[in-house]
Amino acid sequence: MIMVRALTIILALAVVPVGIAQAASCPQSLDFELRPLAGSDPVRLCDAYQGQVLLVVNTASKCGFVGQFEGLEALDAELKDRGFRVLGFPSSDFLNQEYADEERIADFCRSNYGVQFPMFEKVNASRRGAQPGTLYHFLGHAAGEFPSWNFHKYLIGRDGEVLASFGTRVRPDDPRIRQAIEAAL
């Protein structure tokens, strides 16, 4: 009986550090819970995307750069089997160019641009709007620049490090983005 109790205590102590180590191993860039677009249950980015190369983009359905959805979808479809994903985050920070209703955003992106890459709840992405403790507050500080318009892109490496930041005018098919993604893969 004493042997069983001792073994139970040893096993319990051995499991606790593993759990702590797993929680501590989540890179800060992915240590956020966000709801999928028009979904109900939050997703912890670390659980879903750790170890992948990510292109995080603030989107807006009514923006003049909305055609970039096609290039983002093409990148995601082509490279997702190699451990790459595009993650979209709708935002109304710049001239309120996003629909208020998340169902409408999701339908617009799917029906007009065939978007299949993961899209998440609306966020504040601008320097003024991104609050401490949020994904875009972290990304803006880590990259040394916040989005100044829609379709700003952050490249995150497999280790969770923010590798690059690309402004709105840098299209998803731009060789600079492609080279940076390939180097990270």
Provide the residue-wise pLDDT of the chain in tens; the chain has 185 residues: 555 454 444 444 454 444 444 445 999 999 999 999 988 899 999 999 999 999 999 999 999 999 999 999 999 999 999 999 999 999 999 999 999 999 999 999 999 999 999 999 999 999 999 999 999 999 999 999 999 999 999 999 999 999 999 999 999 999 999 999 999 99
Nearest Cα neighbor of 91 from 133, 53, 63 is 63
Q: Identify residue 96 by its one-letter amino acid code.
A: N
Q: Identify residue 9 by its one-letter amino acid code.
A: I
- Give the Å distances, CA to CA, from 91 to 2, 96, 100, 170: 60, 8, 10, 18
Q: Which residues are catalytic?
A: 63
28-184 classified as CATH 3.40.30.10 = yes
User: What is the C-alpha to C-alpha distance for residues 162 and 143, in angstroms, rounded to an integer?
Assistant: 6
> pTM, whole model, 2 decimals?
0.86
